[in-house]
Copies of this chain bind each other. A is one copy, B any other.
Amino acid sequence: MKGIRQLAEQLDISIGTVSRALNGKPDVNDETRRRVLAAAEELGYVANQSGRSLRQGETKVIGLMIESSAEAVENADNFFLGVISGLQSVFARHKLDLIMLPCPSDEDPHEYLKRMVARRIVDAMIISNTQRIDRRIDLLSRAKIPFVAVGRSVSASNSPWIDLDFEGVADRAVERLIARGHRRIAITAPSSEVNLGYVFLDSYRRALERHDIAFDPSLVIRVRSSEQGGYQAAHELLLLEERPTAVILIYELMAIGLYRRLMESGVIPGRDLAVIGFRDAPRAQFLQPSLSCFRMSLYDLGAALGRMLLANMPAYREVYPDEACNIIWPLELTPGESDAFQVGAMV
């Protein structure tokens, strides 16, 4: 089976009618449509996307840009795989396909995106790993490519994004720890310029201020967002002169490395040091003592991202009229044993 021409010849009918029948246009005789669909099915005909795209000016493909950096490789987690299912659940309704665009580690993300966009491989983009200043946002805005970002950015003046509620997490973690008598509360922060680090730290500082606890820069531990980073964080924490009684983590896998390093030193989470993790990850679920952390549905996040994106695409706008342009995605606290003690209660 080659193209629509062969299919039309076989049916002894014009290619226009075949096209209309296949695309569900109303002005086609029922019997004709039946024959066309049957023949297409039998011969395995599917319209060549390049032909369609060229004619229609759209590809029916949505791109999700990811980065395959060495760090990402070492530190793969299920975040995007989980989100993808949610995205696809929305896109499937409109016969849109999702593809992932992995930016090579030796290529500038901005240049990569520029190339992909200019080639018109996709109609719209989802970008992630948003930086505090992210030129990709300007690029997409200027090129008028619909997009949505996972993560806020200073660059995103008017553009759509969904971000996890880092403020809420930091805030509730600090409040919870203070209520249990903690005053020296350490926090981890990413070593990169990724925007969420700023948001997280700001909220932590404000929460401390509310309780008249002075901000101590030595309690901000900058490490890579990875299991190894968690190990490193515990290591630095143990070296501090006046050791904190609690630590708040910013990335889901940190807890695993942190636990390991603590255990090596005989420091037991939930007894000697309170630990509050970030998102619950499948791999962290077996930690002993169980980790107090925050929970969310990756699938729901993906679905929300999908709807928000479609609400920003002219062709689908009217189907999603009430979508917000920006969402702070809430996380729910799951209490565990890792912070289940009161400071000073051991008298």
Q: A residues touching B (Cβ–Cβ < 8 Å)?
A: 44-51, 53-54, 59, 61, 68, 72-78, 81-82, 84-85, 88-89, 92, 97-102, 104-105, 114-116, 118-121, 227-228, 231, 256-257, 260, 282-283, 286, 288, 298
**Do B45 and A118 touch across chains, with their CB atoms under 8 A apart?**
yes
**Do B44 and A118 touch across chains, with their CB atoms under 8 A apart?**
yes
Question: Can you identify 21 A-B contacts, CB atoms within 8 angstroms?
Answer: A44-B114, A45-B118, A46-B114, A47-B119, A48-B54, A48-B120, A50-B51, A51-B54, A61-B121, A68-B81, A68-B84, A68-B88, A73-B78, A76-B76, A84-B102, A85-B104, A85-B105, A88-B102, A92-B104, A100-B100, A283-B283
Chain copies in the assembled complex: 2
Task: Determine the chain B residues whose CB is within 8 A of the CB of A59 once the complex forms.
Answer: 50
From B99, B104, B231, B283, contact of A88 by CB (8 A): B104
CA distance A100 to B51 in the complex (A): 22
**Do B104 and A101 touch across chains, with their CB atoms under 8 A apart?**
no
CA distance A77 to B281 in the complex (A): 13
Task: Determine the chain B residues whose CB is within 8 A of the CB of A105 once the complex forms.
Answer: 85
CA distance A260 to B121 in the complex (A): 46
**Do A73 and B81 touch across chains, with their CB atoms under 8 A apart?**
yes
CA distance A81 to B69 in the complex (A): 8
From B68, B116, B256, contact of A283 by CB (8 A): B256
CA distance A26 to B258 in the complex (A): 59
Residue among A47, A88, A101 facing the most chain B CB atoms (10 A cut-off) = A88
Residue of B nearest to A88 (CB): B104
CA distance A84 to B286 in the complex (A): 30
Task: Determine the chain B residues whose CB is within 8 A of the CB of A260 once the complex forms.
Answer: 286, 288
Task: Determine the chain B residues whose CB is within 8 A of the CB of A121 once the complex forms.
Answer: 49, 61, 97, 99
